[in-house]
Amino acid sequence: MPTNVICIKWGTLFGPEYVNRLYSGARRNISGPVRFLCMTEETDGLHPDIEILSLPVEPFHDEMNAALAVANRQGAMRKVSLFRPGLVPDLDGPLLGFDLDVVITGSLDPLLAFEPGKVVMRADWVEARRGRAGGHGSVFRYDPALHPWLYDTLSANPTAEVERARGSEQRYTSTLAQKKGAFAYIPPELVVSFKHDCLGLPPINWLRAPVLPKEARVVCFHGRPKMPEAVAGYRGSLLRRSKPCDWLREHWIDRATSDLGGDWA
């Protein structure tokens, strides 16, 4: 049985190379076959082995967007379409989902085996620092057959759910799953933040190249620097200054190019 991996791409912020490199990282770091799916309205440049799902307009789209506009988070809950029961034809088992601004750096098998039957996410770094519960949406595992309420709850009352989550899809997902008793936090050493866990505080980040934590399987690039900035080196601020990151170039670009060929990575 293949492992099911999914992502969503809408708009022009991320090019097709982000999807292709994520696909390569997944298939290089999962034991056994991989079924990789991308929900998108733009298929140009995507590797032919990636299975395409149409980006839908949900029946609650307008109401949800009106509530999001009040929260100043227009479009921020588009990922809820991934939770729709029956979305993936012939789906067998859970889906492992990723944002596009991550790099896979090690075996994903522990994430697939962790707390079967539950929605799993990494604790959000900012929320955890403030002593609040909440998951980060960069890496998430769920099963539409077991967790149809991830979609149904929002579709039944979009305005109330968007307001309750303050416009945040990851807050909606994690708090609802916690309420249902079907949530677990991914061990923090497996999914790390580039800016929190790899850079170091000044002056360390000025003097030392970013480090890849030993147990990290996924590195998330939320905020700045963005992934291409981190590869090249980044001087956006004293706090976020970063020397060029060779291991990011290796895992995100070089290995994907070797795997897929230069036309796709």
* pLDDT tens sequence across 56-73: 889 998 999 898 888 777
Confidence of residue 128 (pLDDT cuts 50, 70, 90): confident
Please tell me the least confidently modeled range out of 10-19, 47-56, 124-133, 146-155: 124-133
In the chain, where the domains are located: 3-191, 192-260
pLDDT at 76 over 80: no
Q: Which residue matches tokens 């109401």?
A: 63
Contact (Cβ atoms closer than 8 angstroms) between residue 228 and residue 199: no
Distance CA 26, CA 105 (A): 9
Q: Which residue matches tokens 């962790």?
A: 114
pLDDT at 19 over 90: yes
DSSP 225: S
CA angle 201, 73, 7 (to 5 degrees): 75
Question: pLDDT of 139-182, one tens digit each?
Answer: 999 999 999 999 999 999 999 999 999 889 999 999 999 999 99
pLDDT at position 75, please?
A: 66
SS3 category, 184: strand
Quote the tokens at residue 186: 């991914």
What is each CA distance from 60 to 66, 162, 168, 253, in whole angstroms? 10, 12, 16, 38
Considering only residues 18 and 126, tell me which one the structure prediction assigns the higher pLDDT. 18
pLDDT at 93 over 80: yes
DSSP 224: S
Q: How many residues does the chain have?
A: 265
pLDDT at 74 over 70: no
pLDDT at position 85, please?
A: 87
Q: What is the mean pLDDT of residues 178-203?
A: 96
Contact (Cβ atoms closer than 8 angstroms) between residue 144 and residue 86: yes
Residue 36 has phi, psi (to 5 degrees) of -110, 125
Q: Which amino acid is at 152?
A: D
Distance CA 142, CA 174 (A): 11
CATH topology of domain 3-191: Spore Coat Polysaccharide Biosynthesis Protein SpsA; Chain A (3.90.550)
Contact (Cβ atoms closer than 8 angstroms) between residue 225 and residue 252: no
Other Cβ atoms closer than 10 A to 10:
15
- Mean pLDDT score of the chain: 94
Question: pLDDT of 244-257, one tens digit each?
Answer: 999 999 999 999 99
